Structure 1
């Protein structure tokens, strides 16, 4: 196929788009502004392999099939039975093993939530205010939002049914997102994709182009102020400590929307022997100072990793503001987000555009659609020449 497709951005969406276009026979050039590929899937260098946000995969969607068909997943890790049992909830300031009854009824409920009503109002009327707030806080691990109850009831319900479903679809890939992205980069190069690092485009190059950057960067590149959408705001603590059998594996914070997970329990390769690697997240409240959000985060850390300050071997902090995936307010669905097709053979991909799924899945699903459109546009131009 003559002609060329340009991909802007070397994160998950950009790599999926580049691979898909190259598999269709197109010549592809990928431009990445940073010195390495990966986007928000990048990880710190060993011995502490920490990611920006949770790095699990869900094996119940077409994105997992796409990765599996191309042998890009690699080895899957699992927590050992004792670790797997250390899953609990922060409820009224205490750690509990089982899900509260009200939250359990809500998750098990069959009534379909409406799109045009906020989750707090809808759930409170049916399951009580405490169950509604607990459910909203439990799913903040995905929304990264301190007020998840304000979002569309249908949007939040969909997340709850996937994340807290008894039939767990979560998979822990050894090495996390970084290992998968490294394999994707190798696959792209094998297909002939030309990868240009430290290459920041300031204008469109002409020809079919897929813009697979954060929405804020796409807004600047395309000069389109309409490219905005609701997103979360969260502080994070990556923490390595000396291993202790009493540390929790996963903690859902029903009080304040935080989340705790030990990445090294299913994947010991991410931390040195004898140490455990955790990430603890806490959504930032409206108008809250970063330091205050971190103080609340540390309170959750003390519950999940007792005595962590005296056991710490490595740590780093961060904040993800407006760059943690799309959130749908009442009256909106994923179909209302910025469209993939932008006109003039320009296509958009990423985790805040019009495609279904959760975060990384949105990136992949939008990238596949963008690639299909770019290949079709290239084919039309070749036939017209």
Structure 2
């Protein structure tokens, strides 16, 4: 029987393991942490759910329909758009085509111009049917340059694009590739933004269960320390050998194991804190609160309004995300969040209870203009070694799952698996 080792139990590794096992290979997956999922994990404590940083699932992702059972994930959805907030000011800016109840509020929102609203509708019509291959092909530019060229105002950039897309790409400067913007905009326009009722970690749990059901063996707390071009895998005190090795670790570790310098390792990080409070929920409901003034915090989400399962019945759960890697103590960040909310809601008194802090040093790899042209192929390593990771496609959950499928397809072709 053909033997395959998968190093890394994130989304890419789990998808690769499942497809290879389904093809008849003897698959052994090694994950260095005590649980699978990589960056897509959740902690459940005292009735609360804390994801590893603020994460959402775009249901329009092409890989979602191929790899996930959405009904089993029991998704809870956000309302399209957001609430733009600054001291003494909150205003809804939504998609009137998908959220008609907010049409009047959006129409009279002065945080962006009337021209901006018309240009957004133009983008919606243009991008919703644009093929992904066309989005990622052709010339590139920064998101800021792209939006400026299309005539969007400085108000639109500062009040909406910077905090909203900054939260998605962890880059409030909008220096990320226009291709990332166009793809994300298409996903937002054609599907829902959601979280599973049991947390984002339910996605990894489902992929792991599918891999096991297909016959893959998953071992946690096992670190791959070396990969040979002949299929040899070092596990500290143990050596394994296979006909092929799929390296699906984080980018830095993948570069160390394979020697492929094209793997991007420039990181975008963030810190997400979770707080509980009592009383009525905030009027933003299932919409994001965007900080129109600064990235401290960049956005706040009322998670228990989106997914009541994230908190006990008698409490509300908020998350606040700070971009970059601020090294301020947890209590300092929590106090800053409290002051920010107090300035946005001067009519409310919110006593926040800090529950959990998630510091993500490597949330995404940097995606400046032109980055996609230099990403490594799955067959980039020498010998019988393959890559599976978002860094072969783009920085997203979709790219991670797609890369696992692509790597499995390459192994199957090279080893003549069904």
TM-score range, shorter chain: 0.7 to 0.9
Moved more, 225-234 or 201-210: 225-234
Structure 1 residues 94-116: Cα deviation after superposition (integer angstroms, max 9, x where no partner) = 32123543453443344889843
Structure 1 residues 244-300: Cα deviation after superposition (integer angstroms, max 9, x where no partner) = 233533213333351222222232222112112222112138xx6546877765544
Q: Secondary structure at the residue paired with 1:40?
A: coil
Distance 1:145 1:308 in 2: 31
- Does residue 108 in structure 1 map to residue 121 in structure 2? yes
- Does residue 179 in structure 1 map to residue 219 in structure 2? no
| Pairing partner for 2:400 from 363, 366, 370 | 363
Q: Write the mapping of 1:273-352 to structure 2, written as runs, cut at 5 A.
A: 273-284=313-324, 290=328, 297-302=337-342, 310-312=351-353, 314-321=354-361, 323-333=362-372, 335-343=373-381, 344-351=383-390
Q: Write the mapping of 1:149-164 to structure 2, written as runs, cut at 5 A.
A: 149-163=174-188
**Contact in 1 for aligned 2:170/2:270 (Cα 8 Å):** yes
Q: Secondary structure at the residue paired with 1:13?
A: helix
* Distance verdict in 2 for CA 1:327–1:304, change over 3 Å: farther
Distance 2:376 2:19 in 1: 22
- Does residue 96 in structure 1 map to residue 83 in structure 2? no
**Contact in 2 for aligned 1:135/1:160 (Cα 8 Å):** no
- Does residue 58 in structure 1 map to residue 58 in structure 2? yes
Distance 1:62 1:121 in 2: 27
Q: Secondary structure at the residue paired with 2:6?
A: strand
**Contact in 2 for aligned 1:231/1:325 (Cα 8 Å):** yes
Structure 1 residues 292-348: Cα deviation after superposition (integer angstroms, max 9, x where no partner) = 877765544445677676242x52223222x22234212333x43232222423222
* Distance verdict in 2 for CA 1:309–1:222, change over 3 Å: farther
CA shift, 1:184, in A, is 2.4
Aligned length: 365
- Does residue 140 in structure 1 map to residue 166 in structure 2? yes
CA shift, 1:119, in A, is 2.6
* Distance verdict in 2 for CA 1:7–1:55, change over 3 Å: same
Runs of 5+ unmatched residues, structure 2:
94-105, 128-134, 228-232, 234-241
**Contact in 1 for aligned 2:281/2:305 (Cα 8 Å):** no
* Distance verdict in 2 for CA 1:115–1:319, change over 3 Å: farther
* Distance verdict in 2 for CA 1:91–1:157, change over 3 Å: farther
Distance 1:304 1:340 in 2: 47
Moved more, 136-145 or 228-237: 228-237
**Contact in 1 for aligned 2:7/2:29 (Cα 8 Å):** yes
Q: Secondary structure at the residue paired with 1:370?
A: helix
Distance 2:408 2:279 in 1: 45
Runs of 5+ unmatched residues, structure 1:
none
So what's the TM-score if we normalise by structure 2?
Answer: 0.77
* Distance verdict in 2 for CA 1:86–1:16, change over 3 Å: closer
Distance 1:71 1:139 in 2: 25
* Distance verdict in 2 for CA 1:298–1:324, change over 3 Å: farther
Partner of 2:238: none
